Structure 1
Amino acid sequence: MIRRVGVGIVGCGHVSLQYLEGFKTLPSIDVVGCFDVDQNQSQARAAVFGIQRVYQTLGELLSDPSVEIVLNITPPLVHYGVSKAALEAGKHVFSEKPLAPTREEARHLVDLAAIKDVRLACAPDTFLGSGLQISRKLLDDGWIGSPVGMGTFFLSNGVEHFHPSPAFFYGPAGGPMLDVGPYYLTALINLLGPVARVAASSRITFSERIITSPEQYGARIKVETPTYISSTLEFESGVIGPLLATFDVQATRLPFIEVYGTEGTLSTTDPDLWTGNPEIRQYGEDEEAMSDLERNVPWTAFRSSDLIPGLRGVGVEELAQAIMEDRPHRVTAEIAYHVLDIALSIAEAAESGTHVDVESTCTRPTPLSLSIKALPRS
């Protein structure tokens, strides 16, 4: 009989639907039960997805011996308390981002997991998807030479147009850098390693946002956190480049992430997604081909059939497999802590007007083994 790892879900809100859909096709996950402070939510998820147990309290879930991994997908300000309780109960934990709202709380979770000898993992896990794994292989195999610089861009018009409860995203623990920024920062760590120093400027462009999603249509949100953040990252490797994150832009033609090497340029796929075909342009030998950025030099796209299609929950699956195989997992709390440290350092740099050294570091995650194939040029 194939071994499966029991998962207990804490938090049955909007994002739980995506996880539960993903778990349908992931072989190592057995969702044994769920809990939400709103019992109507947990009952609804159990009915739709055939979950056998609906716990009345968090303590009831944590006392269930069939729960090996606690999937913490509660609101961000609750992450610390739920993860702390689960670790103290001797459970492995996979948390949605951020690991915790503050460095102190996040560090306590990392230390507690080590003391309890259990595993702590944290989203995002999209760097395990085909787009970013192919990008990693292209870099590691030297297709663009040695990385020199990078450019990273997340530009959107905010979340109030589609999210059922968008106010949090404009509160003190929200904003584009803490919301979507972790996808981009984790992707950059996967590609280029840890960040050593940051500089930044930021602003609140609109003091008020009007909700147009149907659940709270017409309601107004007071904006309490910067929504346009322009930063510069200096990596331990020496690579430097901009990271722009904003909720204030209606349209853009900028790429998601580009890495500029001594022999070419890599353009990656959307770090918020699992799939996609990254592209490279290798420089010619003559000076003209290297200097004329507008010249029509072909880009080559790559794909792979080795990886699971993009599904939320892949990181939980990878954690479950690592537990069964007794090996380190890839979606580590070490990376998540460094991502939080970078994001908070960017906020501090913008406030102080000075460079800020990032105190933490981490190790690049082990890449997946895959083969890649160049697609025909269009």
Structure 2
Amino acid sequence: MAIVGTGYVADLYMRSRDLHPDIQVAGAFDIRQDRLAAFCNYWNLTPFASLSDLLRALPKGGIVLNLTNPAAHHDVTRACLEADHHVYSEKPLAMELGQARELVDLARRTGKLLGGAPCSHLSEAAQTLATATRTGTCGPVRLVYAELDDGFIPQAPHQKWLSESGAPWPYENEMQTGCTLEHAGYVLTWLVAMFGSIHSITAFSAATVDKGLEPECRVPDTSIGILKFRSGPIVRLTCTIVAPHDHRVLLTGDRGTLEVRDTWDNNAKVHFRRRFVVRRRLLESPIPRRLRLAQGPAGRRAKRRGAASMDFLLGPEEMFRHLSQGGVNRCADQMALHVTEAALHLQNAGEASETYLMQTACDPVPAMEWAGSLR
């Protein structure tokens, strides 16, 4: 693979390489020469002077990781596909649904794979939760509460947040893109992988805090959505940079509840609370049962805290597996497009949104080979 964009997130992908020794990095390119030099020096990679140089050097069958700023995703991905390369793009695929559709159509016309982040639905935690829902542990899922609240970020010491090779966290770009476009996918991919297509979304989004930028940034920093899935479940999803940090997801079914405390942790525990009656009271068990897969991805666990507790290369690895072995591709363009459409609507809903009917569709994602059953 080769990397385009060597900012903050690129270090997280490179650190994940420790878990994927078979993946070779051909080199990197960035329009910021100082950042490119620092990144390549730190990771001992080949720097390319231009995007065209990188695309010419990448062997056929390789994958370009598009880790540029969201506003550049469409143009960079298009150039890579037109150069006859597969692409794995950071979220979103594009800043407009029409542009995202264009990229999917181009990939299919040229016979290239197009995958999109996030890929945490391939993690042990997500696969455990999906297996529990698929096998009916809590009964049919009726309602889901999902939170992606990151704390009061404008007051955080974000100026001190540096990546491993020294890239600053791109605060201004994050604020101008919007936290929902940046982060909602971390839950949307889990939900779409488990339940398939979203039928409709009723959402509200607004700018609620001063982000300290000039001119003032009025991009929504809070969104609240009600998502109705074609297969039945109703989901309430919140995404903010205002409310205290909370990355929980809670599924309620006929027999009880399933809960994951942090969807950003690939190794997060999955708990089941059985519902029962004591005398005249209906209760959920005060002592949850931890669910474990009968067979997990041994030796493949991200061990660091925060965002680095995610393995960012699970998606590219899945694309490489599909290229070499065939079969189902769990990181396919239909999921990336569907998640992009949902995130775009949640971000841009505004304060007087009507119910939005989704235009794209996505089938549930088959379980990983090692995630067939629970202990």
Structure 2 distance, partners of 1:287, 1:8, is 63
SS at match of 1:149: strand
- In structure 2, the residue matched to 1:166 is 171
Q: How does 1:198-213 map to 2 (within 5 A)?
A: 198-206=201-209, 208-210=210-212
- Residue 64 of structure 1 aligns to which amino acid in structure 2? A
Residue from 292, 295, 298 that aligns with 1:303: 292
Greater CA deviation, 33-42 or 86-95? 33-42
Deviation at 1:371, TM superposition (A): 5.8
1:118 aligns with 2:118: no
- In structure 1, the residue matched to 2:50 is 57
Structure 1 length as normaliser, TM-score?
A: 0.86
Per-residue CA deviations over 1:6-57 (Å, capped at 9, x if unaligned) read x111111111111111113303311011111112222222222222x21100
- In structure 2, the residue matched to 1:364 is 364
Q: How does 1:32-181 map to 2 (within 5 A)?
A: 32-51=26-45, 53-66=46-59, 68-160=62-154, 161=156, 162=158, 163=161, 164-171=169-176, 174-181=177-184
Structure 2 distance, partners of 1:241, 1:106, is 24
1:320 aligns with 2:342: no
Deviation at 1:269, TM superposition (A): 4.3
Whether the 8 Å contact between 1:319 and 1:329 is mirrored in structure 2 is yes
What is the number of equivalent residue pairs in this alignment?
A: 351
1:355 aligns with 2:326: no
- In structure 2, the residue matched to 1:272 is 264
Structure 2 distance, partners of 1:88, 1:328, is 24
Q: 1:55 to 1:251 in 2, by over 3 A?
A: closer
- Residue 289 of structure 2 aligns to which amino acid in structure 1? T
Q: 1:288 to 1:181 in 2, by over 3 A?
A: farther
Q: 1:83 to 1:150 in 2, by over 3 A?
A: same
Whether the 8 Å contact between 2:275 and 2:283 is mirrored in structure 1 is no
Structure 1 distance, partners of 2:269, 2:372, is 13
Aligned-residue CA RMSD (Å): 2.1
- Residue 196 of structure 2 aligns to which amino acid in structure 1? G
Deviation at 1:373, TM superposition (A): 5.8
Per-residue CA deviations over 1:283-307 (Å, capped at 9, x if unaligned) read 2266856x345xx532111234622
- In structure 1, the residue matched to 2:218 is 224
- In structure 1, the residue matched to 2:329 is 329
SS at match of 1:265: strand
Per-residue CA deviations over 1:322-361 (Å, capped at 9, x if unaligned) read 1111233211221111112112233454444321111111
- In structure 2, the residue matched to 1:345 is 345
- In structure 2, the residue matched to 1:195 is 198
Deviation at 1:220, TM superposition (A): 6.2
Deviation at 1:271, TM superposition (A): 2.3
State, as a whole percentage, how many aligned pairs show the same letter. 25
- In structure 2, the residue matched to 1:246 is 240
- In structure 1, the residue matched to 2:275 is 283
SS at match of 1:222: coil
Q: 1:267 to 1:204 in 2, by over 3 A?
A: same
Structure 1 residues not aligned, in runs of 5+: 1-6, 211-218
Whether the 8 Å contact between 2:205 and 2:348 is mirrored in structure 1 is no
Structure 1 distance, partners of 2:206, 2:345, is 16
SS at match of 2:19: coil
SS at match of 1:29: coil
Structure 2 distance, partners of 1:329, 1:74, is 24
Whether the 8 Å contact between 1:184 and 1:272 is mirrored in structure 2 is no
Structure 2 distance, partners of 1:111, 1:73, is 21
Per-residue CA deviations over 1:127-182 (Å, capped at 9, x if unaligned) read 111111100001111101111111111222254433532112222xx222111111
Structure 2 distance, partners of 1:347, 1:313, is 26
Structure 1 distance, partners of 2:318, 2:359, is 28
Structure 2 distance, partners of 1:178, 1:348, is 9
Per-residue CA deviations over 1:42-96 (Å, capped at 9, x if unaligned) read 2222222222x21100001111242611111011111111110000011010111
- Residue 157 of structure 1 aligns to which amino acid in structure 2? G
SS at match of 1:54: coil
Residue from 172, 184, 187 that aligns with 2:187: 184
Structure 2 distance, partners of 1:373, 1:241, is 25
Q: 1:43 to 1:242 in 2, by over 3 A?
A: same
Whether the 8 Å contact between 1:345 and 1:358 is mirrored in structure 2 is no
Structure 2 distance, partners of 1:349, 1:202, is 6
Whether the 8 Å contact between 1:99 and 1:333 is mirrored in structure 2 is no
Deviation at 1:236, TM superposition (A): 0.5
Q: 1:69 to 1:353 in 2, by over 3 A?
A: closer
Whether the 8 Å contact between 1:199 and 1:350 is mirrored in structure 2 is no
Structure 2 length as normaliser, TM-score?
A: 0.87
- Residue 200 of structure 2 aligns to which amino acid in structure 1? R
Deviation at 1:188, TM superposition (A): 1.1
SS at match of 1:209: coil
